[in-house]
Amino acid sequence: MNGKDFNFEEFEKEAIEQIKSGKKLEGRDGVLAPLLQRLLNASLNGELDAHISERPLGNRKNGKGKKKVKTSFGEIELESPRDRNGSFEPEIVKKRQLTLGDGIDHKIISLYAKGMSYESICEHLEDLYGITLSPATLSGITDRIMPEVYQWQNRPLEAIYPIVWMDAIHFKVRNEGRIAHKAVYHVLGVNRDGIKEILGMYIGEKEGAKFWLQVLSDLQNRGVKDILIACIDNLSGFKEAIESIFPQTDVQLCIIHQIRNGFKYLKKKDRKEFTEDQKAIYTALNLSEGERNLKIFKEKWGREYPAVVRSWKNNWSGLSPFFSYPHDIRRIMYTTNIIESYHSQLRKITKSKRTFPNDAALLKLLYLVTLKITEKWTRPIKNWKNALSQLAILYEDRMYPE
pLDDT tens profile 307-342 = 999 999 999 999 999 999 999 999 999 989 999 999
The string over 81-105, giving b where at least 16 C-beta atoms fall within 10 Å of a residue's C-beta and e elsewhere, is bebeeeebebeebeeeeebbeeebb
pLDDT for 56 beyond 90? no
- Same-domain status, 129 and 253: no
Question: Which comes out higher in pLDDT, residue 310 or 21?
Answer: 310
- Same-domain status, 206 and 305: yes
Q: In what order do the strands lie in the sheet with 196-204?
A: 196-204, 178-190, 160-175, 226-232, 250-253
Would you state the pLDDT for residue 299? 95
Contact 392, 207 (CB under 8 A): no
The answer to the question of residue 169 being in a domain is: yes
The residues near 179 (Cβ < 8 Å, ≥ 6 apart) are: 172, 173, 355
pLDDT tier at 3, thresholds 50, 70, 90? very low
The answer to the question of residue 153 being in a domain is: no
In sequence order, what E strands does 194-277 have? 196-204, 226-232, 250-253
The answer to the question of residue 3 being in a domain is: no
Model's pTM, two decimal places? 0.72
* Chain mean pLDDT for the chain: 84
- Give the whole-number percent of the chain exceeding pLDDT 90: 48
Last residue of a domain, one of 146, 180, 204: 146
What CA dihedral angle connects 225, 230, 234 and 237, to 10 degrees?
Answer: 20
Mean local confidence (pLDDT), 147-156: 93
- Same-domain status, 190 and 134: no
- Same-domain status, 68 and 193: no
Last residue of a domain, one of 99, 119, 146: 146
Q: Which of 1-5, 119-123, 315-319 has the highest mean pLDDT?
A: 315-319
Counting the structural domains of the chain, the total is 2
pLDDT in tens, 34-50: 666 776 777 677 778 87
- Same-domain status, 215 and 237: yes
- Same-domain status, 141 and 206: no
CA angle 397, 400, 402 (to 5 degrees): 85
Query: Which of 113-122, 172-181, 224-233 shows the lowest per-residue confidence on average (mean pLDDT)?
Result: 113-122
The answer to the question of residue 55 being in a domain is: yes
Would you state the pLDDT for residue 300? 94
- Same-domain status, 81 and 225: no
How many Cβ atoms from other residues are within 10 Å of residue 315's Cβ?
16
In sequence order, what E strands does 120-233 have? 160-175, 178-190, 196-204, 226-232
| CA-to-CA dists, residue 73 to 1, 9, 157, angstroms | 20, 21, 41
For 270, the domain range is 158-399
Q: Which of 285-294, 350-359, 362-371 has the highest mean pLDDT?
A: 285-294
- Same-domain status, 137 and 200: no
Which phi and psi angles does 99 have, rounded to 5°?
-125, 150
pLDDT tier at 4, thresholds 50, 70, 90? very low
The answer to the question of residue 328 being in a domain is: yes
- Same-domain status, 225 and 282: yes
d(CA 377, CA 132): 37
The answer to the question of residue 167 being in a domain is: yes
Last residue of a domain, one of 116, 146, 176: 146
d(CA 83, CA 87): 7
The answer to the question of residue 339 being in a domain is: yes
- Same-domain status, 371 and 282: yes
Mean local confidence (pLDDT), 178-194: 94
Reference 184, options 321, 8, 346, 386; nearest CA is 346
- Same-domain status, 364 and 319: yes
The answer to the question of residue 300 being in a domain is: yes
- Same-domain status, 231 and 294: yes
Reference 116, options 101, 137, 143, 135; nearest CA is 135
Q: Which of 2-11, 223-232, 253-262, 348-357 has the highest mean pLDDT?
A: 223-232
Would you state the pLDDT for residue 26? 53
Mean local confidence (pLDDT), 106-135: 69
